[in-house]
Amino acid sequence: EQINKGNYKHYMQKEIHEQPESLTTTMRGRLLRGGSCKAKTVLLGGLKDHLKTIRRSRRIVFIGCGTSYNAALAARPILEELSGIPVTMEIASDLLDRQGPIYREDTAVFVSQSGETADSLSALEYALENGALCVGITNTVGSAIARNTHCGVHINAGAEIGVASTKAYTSQIVVMAMLALAIGGDTISNQARREAIIDGLFELPNKVREVLKLDQTMKDLAQELIAEQSLLVFGRGYNYATALEGALKVKEVALMHSEGILAGEMKHGPLALVDENLPTFVIATRDACFSKQQSVIQQLHARRGRLIVMCSKGDAASVCPGGSCRVIEVPQLEDCLQPVVNIVPLQLLAYHLTVLRGFNVDQPRNLAKSVTTQ
Ligand code: AGP
């Protein structure tokens, strides 16, 4: 077992640190950057016979559980932007509980690391019965979801052993960004945006390498938070998913209550919790929501919130004028890919908190890697 962990103490730690490589593998052979003036394109072999049908669908429905659901949520805005098709989100168990409507004209995209999650599999059966085109995005070749969907994409992140999903999450987002590029029309009006995203994908492994250098910073933060009962994480837009996923990591491995909150909902309840004691993490990297996040920070500050702010490199003074909060600066890249970078410090925080609190990193109590019962 130790051989498989290499120089790392835990699988989760190894899997966090190998993300530059897993992301590279996910993209290998799928991104084409032609010679001097050739257009940049994406090739997803598993979808090529179905792209026309997907483009004609009335709606795209993302279906998954836990981290896989969060990855789909992170990719939703870019899929909507590039395809112009409405994208709705379904937690597999909730879709089944409601027997929510699924139509023949829908494309249902099943996102699952293991490809064996019972709720997702039942939702797949349900979507097939209702006549939707079913697409699988999994990390496990030959898994039930891979076998039973009409078509799909393997994320090729390599085996993930730690119960807490880390490298699969970032590879899932990248696959769904590529899916958005593949479905979205290559028109003159969106050409610059498409090329910027493809360039961003090429840069991504190096950006993740860079953000991994925050390891010690996140360990120091974990040391500060070791005895806390709770942590709030505020995000919005592309990084609402980052807030949910960061909070999920902290609760499932560090066994600390943590809540990911849509920053736009702050004044509708969560603000009442904020005081000088409760650690409050705000994701405020540069994108179209930046100025709204600045105003969230001001309001939290006015309530004497204990703030930890994640911002783009060089933005510390803009997000924290009085220097009164802890700032985590991360490298910036194209907005839709920023969640891949932004989750890494939160993964590191969850990891170090777990080790410092003395809990089982790779096998948290009560949890299984793959939830095969309903
Ligand atoms: C993630 O850290 C969790 N262990 C869990 O939420 C997981 O993502 C969920 O059970 C779904 O699993 P799947 O991706 O294999 O379907």
Q: Which of 62, 371, 373 to mutate to test the pocket of ligand 1 (most atoms within 8 A of CB)?
A: 371
Average pLDDT, the chain: 95
* pLDDT score for 146: 97
- Say if residue 35's pLDDT is above 70: no
Q: Report, as an integer, the average pLDDT of 214-218.
A: 98
Structure-block tokens of residue 167: 């490298």
CA distance 175 to 71: 10
* pLDDT score for 186: 77
For 289, the 3-state DSSP assignment is coil
pTM for the model: 0.97
Note the pLDDT tens digit of each residue in 61-78: 999 999 999 999 999 999
CA distance 168 to 3: 21
Pocket of ligand 1 (CB under 6 A): 65-68, 112-114, 117, 120, 163-165, 252, 370-371
CA distance 32 to 282: 36
- Say if residue 336's pLDDT is above 90: yes
* pLDDT score for 21: 98
Distance 165 CA to ligand 1 centre (A): 6
Q: Report, as an integer, the average pLDDT of 237-261.
A: 98
Distance 366 CA to ligand 1 centre (A): 14
For 293, the 3-state DSSP assignment is helix
Structure-block tokens of residue 346: 């939160």
* pLDDT score for 36: 55
Structure-block tokens of residue 39: 């257009």
Note the pLDDT tens digit of each residue in 285-328: 999 999 999 999 999 999 999 999 999 999 999 998 777 899 99
ipTM of the complex in this document: 0.98
Q: Which has the higher per-residue pLDDT, 185 or 22? A: 22
Residue among 56, 62, 122 nearest 90 (CA): 62
Distance 193 CA to ligand 1 centre (A): 31
**Residue 284: its H or E element:** strand 279-284
List the 59-64 sheet strands across, edge first. Answer: 87-91, 59-64, 106-112, 133-138, 151-154
- Say if residue 247's pLDDT is above 80: yes
**Residue 167: its H or E element:** helix 167-183
Assign 54 a pLDDT band (cuts: 50, 70, 90): very high
* pLDDT score for 322: 79
Note the pLDDT tens digit of each residue in 148-200: 999 999 999 999 999 999 999 999 999 999 999 999 977 888 899 999 999 99
Q: Which of 10, 113, 250 to mutate to test the pocket of ligand 1 (most atoms within 8 A of CB)?
A: 113
Atom 2 of ligand 1: nearest residue by CA position: 164
User: Given the CA of residue 168, which atom of ligand 1 is nearest to it?
Assistant: 14
For 103, the 3-state DSSP assignment is coil
| Radius of gyration over every alpha carbon of the chain, rounded to an integer in angstroms | 20
Atom 9 of ligand 1: nearest residue by CA position: 66
User: Given the CA of residue 117, which atom of ligand 1 is nearest to it?
Assistant: 16
Give me the residue label for tokens 């009006």: 189
Q: Is the separation of the CB atoms in 68 and 112 below 8 Å?
A: yes
Distance 135 CA to ligand 1 centre (A): 18
